[in-house]
Amino acid sequence: MTIVLTGLTMGYADTFNQSIDDPAEFWLDKAGLIDWTTPPSCGSAEDVNGIERWYPDGVLNTCFNAIDRHVLAGRAEQVAIYYDSPVADDKSAITYAQLLEKVAGFAGGLRSLGVEKGDRVVIYMPMIPEAVIAMLACARLGAIHSVVFGGFVASELAARLADAAPKVIVTASCGIEVDRVIEYMPIVDEALAIVEQPPQSVIVFERPQSNYVVKRGRDTDWGDLIKQSEPAACVPVAATDPLYILYTSGTTGKPKGVVRDNGGHAVALTWSMTAVYNMAPGEVFWAASDVGWVVGHSYIAYAPLLAGCTSVLYEGKPVRTPDAGAFWRVVEEYRVKVLFAAPTAFRAVRKEDPEGALFRHYDTGSLDALYLAGERLDPPTYHWLAGLTHLPIIDHWWQTETGWAIASNPRGIERGFPTKAGSATFPSPGFQVQILDEQGSVVPANQQGAVVIKRPLPPGCLPTIWGNHARFENAYMDVYPGYYLTGDGGYFDDDGYLFIMGRTDDVINVAGHRLSTGEMEEIVASHSAVAECAVIGVTDELKGQLPVGFAVLKSGVLLDADEVERELIELVRQRIGPLACFSRALIVNRLPKTRSGKILRATMRKIADGEDYVMPSTIEDPGALADLKELLAGQSL
């Protein structure tokens, strides 16, 4: 099978302009990249909520496009997934034919438990092939998966179970963090006990590293289930039917269930593999992320397979498994063409191997480029990588909500755009990015403002929030009518390069993990000794940002500050998980506020980062900022 990308004969400017001038026509043309049960007759139409939906009358199956069609077209013996786990000391290569057998088998197992089109299935698994198999099996049945990152604790899992209301939860007996076995089943048990209406069935993939014994009756063993069931065929679904829900942090404690549809997602991701990453069928792509995050959904599980490539599934860290040469070893072993990772991962590598001795130890000649996302690629890391590898270092910007890059250096469309340190280069075709001031006017080049995308959003982007369309409108569409609000701040320079400078809301990015300081504040405030609090993200050299809490205690509280701090740290660890990296909670007498009572978080952040700040004219008590400055001067955060 050859995937012919219409539209790639043009340069970037023509492609981009066409995508904006006539989006429906542009994307209808790209629909030919995938196989349809019923091909769409039109590119887009508004749904009942007034949201533009892609391929409204198209019918397809995403799993068929990711697996079956490649088998039918002669790629049966090509490796679909390389699994590489330094932590489990395990490796395997799964061909497209084997993947088809495993996915169809597990889909049959799900069906035997009553899972049908439109039912939800929560997948709480570590980075093992069965996680991807479970996702694809849901897609095969037209069921909607919701993967929960394995680092989340019981309360976070429970919140997602309560919102998605799945029929089944699929899990594994354990995950492995470097040399530590994380038993999943106590977490699952606790989450199921919290949820009012727990799923009917629990499927457990048993790993040899765990001592867990499957609770026959409630639990079904993965292998037994497949043995007892018939393989399932693909179920055709509407292009606009949901493929998955992925929860992400918003500004409150309740995570937002980002909905992804089938048709737009399949087309956009297939196109992106060539347009953005310059990949061809048969080549090896590695996104060093986790299936629990959007990067893992899009570029470990779906896009490489939709495009007939080979995907690497790596269960390990960039360092300590066993050393900072881990990434380069994997590149050499599987002849990886494109490696996609978070800047924080390379900062960790640079810290351990600043001179790049381990890089030189491996043959990385297969690499065509490095792509980075998840947070801004800081110029020092950019320069270090460029100097070390002599490869194009591509920063590209995207969000869980969009599912693929809003801005990138699209090497598959036009090569040779120079990169600029700190910039994600140009908007991807389909994304009409603009920078607005507070009044909603477009600002001139070099001036920072709110980064927005003029509607319609291209295929692949979210059409709603699961079960809460009002929240979708409120969070993204209402602030600047006609535009999608990204929540990021940034600017275009004179050459049209886009610079994304950071969030303008309560979302922070800790080691490539998107977290909500609002959620942490709710947890800190729930401590019986705390009267009020603020949590801000401060800059961290390795992890990008780290959360720091500030709490005012209720009068009469007799606990000492250290004790409260310890309890608050433990509380956040228990309710969100260690990945929150919440390790400082400072007890203060008061919080700096405006006269209307708004906590001055942005100013607090500047003080904590040692940046200049202007005393807000609306401040209630300037002494509160002076106190904070004095307190922070004596702290290492």
Residues that bind ligand COA (CB under 6 A): 150-151, 175, 177, 182, 289, 293, 295, 317-319, 342, 344-345, 348, 373-374, 511-512, 578-579, 581
If one asks whether residue 488 binds ligand AMP (CB under 6 A), the answer comes out as yes
Distance of closest approach, residue 126 Cβ to ligand COA, in angstroms? 6
If one asks whether residue 399 binds ligand AMP (CB under 6 A), the answer comes out as yes
List the one residue out of 427, 402, 411 whose CA is nearest residue 337.
411
Helical H runs in 195-298? 222-227, 263-275, 294-296
Give the whole-angstrom CA distance, residue 79 versus residue 599: 54
Asked if 391 and 372 count as a contact pair (C-beta separation under 8 A), the reply is no
Asked if 547 and 481 count as a contact pair (C-beta separation under 8 A), the reply is no
Based on CB atoms, which residue is closest to ligand COA, 287 or 451? 287
Asked if 232 and 111 count as a contact pair (C-beta separation under 8 A), the reply is yes
Give DSSP secondary structure letters for 536-556.
EEEEETTTEEEEEEEEEEPTT
For ligand AMP, the binding residue among 145, 329, 396, 411 (CB under 6 A) is 396
579 binds, among ligand AMP, ligand COA, none (CB under 5 to 8 A by kind): ligand COA
Give the whole-angstrom CA distance, residue 627 versus residue 588: 9
If one asks whether residue 509 binds ligand AMP (CB under 6 A), the answer comes out as yes
578 binds, among ligand AMP, ligand COA, none (CB under 5 to 8 A by kind): ligand COA
If one asks whether residue 506 binds ligand AMP (CB under 6 A), the answer comes out as no
If one asks whether residue 36 binds ligand AMP (CB under 6 A), the answer comes out as no
Helical H runs in 181-316? 185-194, 222-227, 263-275, 294-296, 303-306
The mark string for 356-395 relative to ligand AMP (x by CB under 6 A, - otherwise) is -----------------xxxxx-----------------x
How many separate helices (H) and strands (E) can be counted in the chain?
21, 31
Residues 244-283 that bind ligand AMP (CB under 6 A): 248
Task: Compute how many other C-beta atoms are within 10 angstroms of the C-beta atom of residue 200.
Answer: 13
If one asks whether residue 341 binds ligand AMP (CB under 6 A), the answer comes out as no
Q: Which two tokens stand for residue 419?
A: 């990169």
Based on CB atoms, which residue is closest to ligand AMP, 299 or 582? 299
Distance of closest approach, residue 371 Cβ to ligand AMP, in angstroms? 9
Based on CB atoms, which residue is closest to ligand AMP, 98 or 545? 545
Q: What is the CA radius of gyration of the chain?
A: 24
Based on CB atoms, which residue is closest to ligand AMP, 274 or 298? 298
Q: What element of type H or E holds 452? A: strand 449-454
349 binds, among ligand AMP, ligand COA, none (CB under 5 to 8 A by kind): none
294 binds, among ligand AMP, ligand COA, none (CB under 5 to 8 A by kind): ligand AMP
- Amino acid (1-letter code) at residue 546: L
Based on CB atoms, which residue is closest to ligand COA, 27 or 398? 398
Which stretches of the chain bind ligand AMP, using CB under 6 A?
A: 248, 294, 373-377, 395-400, 424, 486-488, 500, 503, 509, 514
